[in-house]
Structure 1
């Protein structure tokens, strides 16, 4: 939403002033149905923001599925690579993360935004998501990524409907038990919108976002 450099920097600084410990910088939307941004455009969007924020001493993560973007942003000061594909979208990602020795968030993923809805089919939601994440962890470690650097994300809203999301939130112990840090990204997602009156503004999802986030942190 903040494509201009000055706007992005100002927004990030407001977040830090409000108490944010980390700013996640991404150059393409991953919402359901979103079209992909090409690699050059993504890098042009995120790299100047990452470089400037890191120079100011702000902790930055880069949200990308592309190894080249991750590599450039880590070189510019990003401390974390947040990959919604868990390394599946770009076969070079694991090697880049291993070489950089930075923290890496591997999210559960079944495909890009234009196909994910069709893949939201589970017999055992929690078990299947857990097992698919374990497979990603094993692949990352085999590629040389330090296990202590890996965090996992069950991927709320990604190839999942609202019922799947609530099942995962009710079973976070299945993921904390893997021995890795767990990231839960609920921010303004559609399953929270279903708790509100029809037609409610997206911004009204902020309170349920905060509640879900706080409860998840205690799981």
Structure 2
């Protein structure tokens, strides 16, 4: 995983009012936690941060330039406004090169299972341990040609070199089942016959 450099500003104003003022300036309030130090409250450039997080995904690694010093920071939580879809706040964990971190990695299911099957994804992420600067952006699971009854467990998912599985290896990730078929309702032939005879009976009565 590569990192992107972001110039950050330390902030001394806190609370909702201060956060709103920061966002009005197209900037993003953020906090860096970790290594036993006090949290570092920052203001980040809005567009550059948004693009970095969009490009690198959930576990984006950023090089934060804070007063001329570089701090590696791993993204832990991104708060997004549900309506405007803009980033409201970011939580980071301070990391060092060579340090091991535990993160949740998104699973991407690729390929097509055999005809007549239905693919059920039971786990969307796996928890792994990896070196902070080599956290995988995602894990790929191929279901190409898999038949009904095939199951893929966490322990069967291929991990990048240097990455260790933390999730229970017996956790079900993907289950290939038989495709459900929707049966067409069968009309009652007797009822259809009665319905067809009804107009004839009414016509006879009229005569």
- TM-score normalised by length of structure 1: 0.23
Q: Normalized against structure 2, the TM-score is what?
A: 0.24
Instruction: Tell which structure's C-alpha radius of gyration is larger.
Output: 2
Higher relative contact order structure (alpha carbons within 8 Å, sequence separation ≥ 6)? 2
When you count helix as a share of all residues, which structure comes out higher? 1
The structure with the greater share of residues assigned to strand is 2
